[in-house]
Chains A and B, each alone.
Chain A
Amino acid sequence: MEWIGLLNYALFMGIFIGIYALLALGLNIQWGFAGLFNAGIAGFFAVGAYTSAILTSAPADGRIGGYDLPFVIGWIAAMVAAAAIAWPIGKICLRFRSDYLAIATIGVAEIIRLVIKSEETLTNSARGIAGLPRPFGEWPYVESQAAFLVLVAAIVLVVYLLVERQFNSPWGRMMRAIRDNELAARAMGKDVEYRRLEAFIFGAAIMGLGGALFAHFNRSITPEAIDPMVATFLVWIMLILGGSGNNRGAILGAAVVWTIWSVSEIATDQLPHEYAVKAKYIRLFLIGLLLQLVLRFRSEGLLPEPLRGDQGNSGIDRERSVQS
């Protein structure tokens, strides 16, 4: 039954595109809206995944958690937890140029990785947390996958509509003003640090939700489930390629990049084992090169940020703030 296999694969890929689209939307709030460089996306993702896992899994010996709560509560808690991690980091780093935030978020992701690996009572360390409830999990396999895809798509749609609404509201205008000319916005009486903190926390919360969806889709979460650097980087290339500042661009970028990434993995897995291992790194190299090419030749992305008012230039090339 060839087509069943293809259908399954398409469903699987659709669910992953949905999860990555959430991450890209979260990053779009931070980078597209506010010009904040978050290099620790995987960290917020992991916090969301583990928070939901701890709250919704069945009780187990030797670790905290296993409260057996409904998954909806776990997902909301995942967003709250990711936001709670983002708050102190943003509070300290957002006074400075975004370079400092980039370094600090790399650090946060690294520390979260260390905590996950070594705190057995919290995360069950290397074995991870298994047996998470999955929405529609008791249905037959294909139907269950399809239902989960519909759920993910619905969540992406709701998040998209909410973020799009924010983009076009006075709040969104103010955020772009801060991004494009910090001094002028400050002179107009805008609280630049506070607004940036808002954008950073909102973005982190959405990344946490993405992590929770990932954990419940797999019914388990382990430290090896995602490669932090690869995941973070994929989300960045999704947003930049799709078009930063454009929510549809973020979703399109997620679809394009994930399709390339996952189809090329299938292709390279056909190779003999020795070459397949190397091919993984060649794919990483090419995705890094793709970023360089997009930055150089099409920095506004596939779907550029819509022009509003009489803004002359578009894309990520605007002067984001007055550079000293």
Chain B
Amino acid sequence: MGLLEFINFYLIPGIVLGSIYALGAVGITLIFAILRYAHLAHGDLATLGAFIALAIVTSAGISPLAALPFAIVATAVVAVGIDKVFYEHLRERPKIITVIASLGIALMIRAVVQVIWGVDSESYVRGISRPDVYFGLRIRDREIFTVLAMLGLVGALYVFLKQSKWGKAMRAMSDNPNLALLSGIDNRVVIMLTWIIAGGLCAAAGVFLGINTEIKSMMGWHMLLPMFAAAILGGVGRVEGAVLGGLIVGITEELSVLILPGEYKAAMAFVILLFMLLVRPTGILRGKVL
């Protein structure tokens, strides 16, 4: 196998898939670090975002990329709503109760998607997109958009967390909630911001997965394990770690086809997850361990 073939058929798809995982993993890592529980409905929230975009694409007749901002806003609103209605009153209880509740929410979101849109696979645009060739590299437009959008969204989030007042408040809550509360940070605003960011990124992950593959009701659930593996691999609470973790998980999944039967691609995330918990639970970039 030549170098070009390796890049075209394994590395580029891996980077694209990894970017999608990274978008979801950033939300998971923020929720894990700030709210301190594993949010099991994250994948299905991404599914919902993808279907909201589909509804906009089919009704308004615009491209999925143009529908993306609307899907991000709508999913962020849904995420905040779910938190207000279902998670907020569990806040003072042991965190594991909220994890159980989120498993139920995952099922509820999926049921809503299945009732409204059915269980068949859909796609945003019909027809086959042919890759363009740049110096022997075969890249599709949508793949460039996916990686650029991921870098743009996560970059903006990174600047927000480092520079803005509320970004600093979020990091303070993650580092030491008691100290942050004592110094007068409004917990409710921080939690709401966390859900807006996580929900919006979820929608982006769902839409880009839909653009690059197909849209179906189980798409998000199957992304859940890779997203968690990416968050833990990068280090819980570390945004840049989640991106790195997402890319590693995505590339590993694509490369696994070289030595394992294709059916077991989805098992790679699980292997990475267990391996990290075994040898370095803090992740590559020294995140938290709950």
Any A CB within 8 A of the CB of B66: no
Main secondary structure of the interface of A (DSSP, over half): helix
**From A97, A102, A285, contact of B40 by CB (8 A):** A102
Main secondary structure of the interface of B (DSSP, over half): helix
**From A89, A103, A295, contact of B228 by CB (8 A):** A103
Q: Report if A102-B289 is in contact (Cβ < 8 Å); known contacts: A111-B270, A233-B107, A282-B115.
A: no
Smallest CB gap from A107: residue in B: B270
Verify B108–A289 contact, CB threshold 8 A. yes
Any B CB within 8 A of the CB of A79: no
Taking CB atoms, residues of chain B closer than 8 Å to A97 are 95-96, 290
Any A CB within 8 A of the CB of B46: no
Question: A-side interface residues toward B, CB under 8 Å?
Answer: 35, 37, 39, 89, 92-93, 95-100, 102-104, 106-108, 110-111, 114, 117-118, 229, 233, 236-237, 240, 278, 281-282, 284-285, 287-289, 291-292, 295-296, 299, 316-321, 323-324
For the side of the interface on B, what is the size category?
Answer: 35 or more
Q: Report B184 CB to chain A, min CB distance, Å.
A: 23
Contact with A along B101-113 (1 / 0, CB 8 A): 1011101101110
Q: Report A303 CB to chain B, min CB distance, Å.
A: 19
Q: Report if A295-B90 is in contact (Cβ < 8 Å); known contacts: A96-B277, A96-B290, A114-B264.
A: yes
**From B32, B36, B107, B278, contact of A288 by CB (8 A):** B107
Verify B86–A99 contact, CB threshold 8 A. no
Any A CB within 8 A of the CB of B137: no
CA distance A199 to B108 in the complex (A): 30
Smallest CB gap from A319: residue in B: B94
CA distance A289 to B261 in the complex (A): 39
Q: Report if A229-B263 is in contact (Cβ < 8 Å); known contacts: A97-B290, A104-B274, A316-B97.
A: no
Q: Report if A320-B96 is in contact (Cβ < 8 Å); known contacts: A92-B274, A287-B107.
A: yes
Smallest CB gap from A117: residue in B: B263
CA distance A229 to B97 in the complex (A): 18
Give 30 pairs: A residue, B residue, CB < 8 Å, sorted on A. Answer: A37-B96, A39-B40, A92-B274, A95-B281, A96-B277, A97-B290, A99-B37, A99-B38, A99-B99, A102-B99, A103-B40, A103-B273, A107-B225, A111-B270, A114-B266, A117-B263, A118-B261, A118-B264, A229-B107, A233-B103, A236-B100, A285-B107, A285-B108, A288-B107, A291-B101, A295-B90, A296-B90, A319-B94, A321-B94, A323-B36
Given A114-B266, A292-B101; 12 other pairs, CB 8 A cutoff: A89-B274, A96-B277, A100-B38, A111-B267, A281-B114, A284-B108, A284-B111, A285-B107, A288-B108, A289-B108, A292-B108, A296-B89
Verify A100–B277 contact, CB threshold 8 A. yes
**From A110, A118, A321, contact of B225 by CB (8 A):** A110
Taking CB atoms, residues of chain A closer than 8 Å to B278 are 92
Taking CB atoms, residues of chain A closer than 8 Å to B261 are 118
Any A CB within 8 A of the CB of B269: yes
Q: Report A137 CB to chain B, min CB distance, Å.
A: 34
Smallest CB gap from A108: residue in B: B270
CA distance A318 to B94 in the complex (A): 8
Q: Report B290 CB to chain A, min CB distance, Å.
A: 5
Taking CB atoms, residues of chain A closer than 8 Å to B202 are none
Taking CB atoms, residues of chain A closer than 8 Å to B228 are 103
Any A CB within 8 A of the CB of B150: no
Question: B-side interface residues toward A, CB under 8 Å?
Answer: 32, 36-38, 40, 86, 89-90, 93-97, 99-101, 103-105, 107-108, 110-112, 114-115, 221-222, 224-225, 228, 232, 261, 263-264, 266-267, 269-270, 273-274, 277-278, 281, 289-290
Taking CB atoms, residues of chain A closer than 8 Å to B101 are 291-292, 295
CA distance A278 to B115 in the complex (A): 5
Q: Report B30 CB to chain A, min CB distance, Å.
A: 15
Taking CB atoms, residues of chain A closer than 8 Å to B281 are 95-96
Taking CB atoms, residues of chain A closer than 8 Å to B108 are 284-285, 288-289, 292
CA distance A96 to B278 in the complex (A): 11
CA distance A282 to B107 in the complex (A): 11
Taking CB atoms, residues of chain A closer than 8 Å to B267 are 110-111, 114
**From A92, A102, A282, A317, contact of B94 by CB (8 A):** A317
In the complex, the 9 A-B pairs of residues with the closest C-beta atoms, listed nearest first:
A285-B111, A107-B270, A288-B108, A99-B38, A291-B104, A118-B263, A281-B114, A288-B104, A288-B107
CA distance A138 to B76 in the complex (A): 59
CA distance A233 to B221 in the complex (A): 14
B86, B90, B232 pick with most chain A CB within 10 angstroms: B86
CA distance A324 to B108 in the complex (A): 30
Verify B273–A240 contact, CB threshold 8 A. no
Smallest CB gap from A97: residue in B: B290
